[in-house]
Amino acid sequence: MSLRLSEPSVSRRTRSFIRRWNKWEARRVVESLVVGPGGPVLLAHTDGTELAWVRGKGTWTDLVLRGSKLLGSPAVAQLVGDVESLSRDVVDTIEWMVSVVAEFDQEMEDLSNHALERYRELTLLYDFSERSSTASAIEEVLDLTLRKAVALVHASGASVVRLQGDGASTLASVGTVPDIPLASIEKVVALGRPLVGMLPETLREVEDRNWSSTLACFPLRTAGKTMGVMTVLAGAGRELRPEDQRLLSALASLSATRIEQADLAEANVRKRELAAIGHVTSAIVHDFKNPLTAIRGFAEMIQMDHVQPSEHAALAEQVIVNADRLWAMVEEVLHFVRGNRNALELVPISARELTERLNRVLRHGHPASIELVVDLEALGTVVLDVQKFERVIVNLVRNASEAIIGRGVIEVRGSAVDGSSEYYQIWVRDDGPGISQKIRDTLFDPFVTANKSGGTGLGLAIVKKIVEEHGGAVTVDSEAGRGACFRIVLPRLQDHSRGES
């Protein structure tokens, strides 16, 4: 029975306290105390929820008239009824039990809040890893890095500098950041460790676990080399602490790797005339670095002290996802290198069955944030090598989903070609960032990628090859910032096997 003056809504903290009180069987302990003779006494939460009958039973109105005593600091419970008849020892015992449960519940609340905050920060780091993986220019990587640093610790500003000649030059900055003495920049580069301080002139190495500062410098370091220094200024009324150092150090490490990748990408553009085998090797190594970087980043997060064990499963899942991406790229390279030496296995298939097959294949592992629409029923019955055609659509949809940042829509639709009964068309349209003019003309060449976080650059080359084997053609219509539409035109083939073109 629960006695209350009224029926207020029970707060989350109250529910948590009562749940822990019941789990510890504190009611049984209180009701088993030897309290001597006297009138009824109820132990209740401050909101009136019954916790235990110390002695006898009665109505709330009668109990309140006889007296009450608040327990805990701050008060979380109350004794109501003939409280004066209870001995000091009994009251102290009950108050001690209430305090133990309340203190433990508060500790759990603090840990929960801490875990939620760490989850938010890890989500920001993961978001940076995903967004920066599509950045091909150093300037874009730097801007993402600094904006993420400001968001992680609610900073006033952040900047990246690099030593050049006899001085240091600022590569990028966001918000307000003071000038850092050259000697401090050189020290961070030489040590490969962060410096912290209240002012630019007082920057020092971290010497103990309990420190605070308003300013910190972090090395952008990868493969044993420091390529720059990231400076972060705490927000107004805030200070940087050890947990901030760990997050910003992880961000600096991820950023350094991304900057190195951007450097490599720019170098690859200048070496387009390399021999075919050298170009293949360079492209594969470059594109494999994105999932490898993600795997290393998430593995490092699992090792961090402030990451709760409950978060390890989600981080491990990301390691598995990126390992699967690596395996898919390996299969794509092997498929392209070996070529297609077999005849097409042409079979008739209804548009409804084809739509159902594609839906099953495409929705496996498809991002929940991207709406996928597959509707080919206007085609009627067509003759295809179904498995190879599935690969065409899978490659196009996968490219589109990897190009879209956040929420989006991908459509796979089909219809007859206007004015022709011998051809039909299928198009794959997305509302992603589109494809820039500078790579559109070479998009179907091997080892060309656009707006993707990873891949071998062979997906569209394979699409073109399979479509042409069917006697068809594939084109793309796109503008930067306005999505892309890949249009496949195919002849209505007869039901027999057809060799390679």
How much is the pLDDT for 383? Answer: 92
- Cα dihedral 60, 63, 64, 70, rounded to 10, equals -100
How much is the pLDDT for 338? Answer: 60
Answer whether CATH 3.30.420.40 is correct for domain 133-259.
no
436-447 pLDDT tens trace: 877 777 788 776
Interatomic CA distance for residues 309 and 140, integer angstroms? 34
CATH level 3 topology of 347-491:
Heat Shock Protein 90 (3.30.565)
How much is the pLDDT for 498? Answer: 44
| 460 token code pair | 């569209």
How much is the pLDDT for 259? Answer: 84
pTM, rounded to two decimals = 0.38
Domain boundaries in the chain?
A: 12-107, 133-259, 271-337, 347-491
How much is the pLDDT for 459? Answer: 76
For the domain with range 271-337, which CATH number is right: 3.50.50.60, 1.10.287.130, 3.40.1000.10, 2.40.50.140? 1.10.287.130
Which residue ranges in the chain fall short of pLDDT 50?
A: 1-10, 273-274, 276, 341, 453, 497-501
419 in Cβ contact with 428 (< 8 Å): no
How much is the pLDDT for 332? Answer: 63
Distance of CA 74 to CAs 10, 22, 98, 99, 364, Å? Answer: 18, 21, 11, 9, 52
Interatomic CA distance for residues 406 and 397, integer angstroms? 15
Q: Residues 6 or more apart from 24 whose CB is under 8 A from it?
A: 101
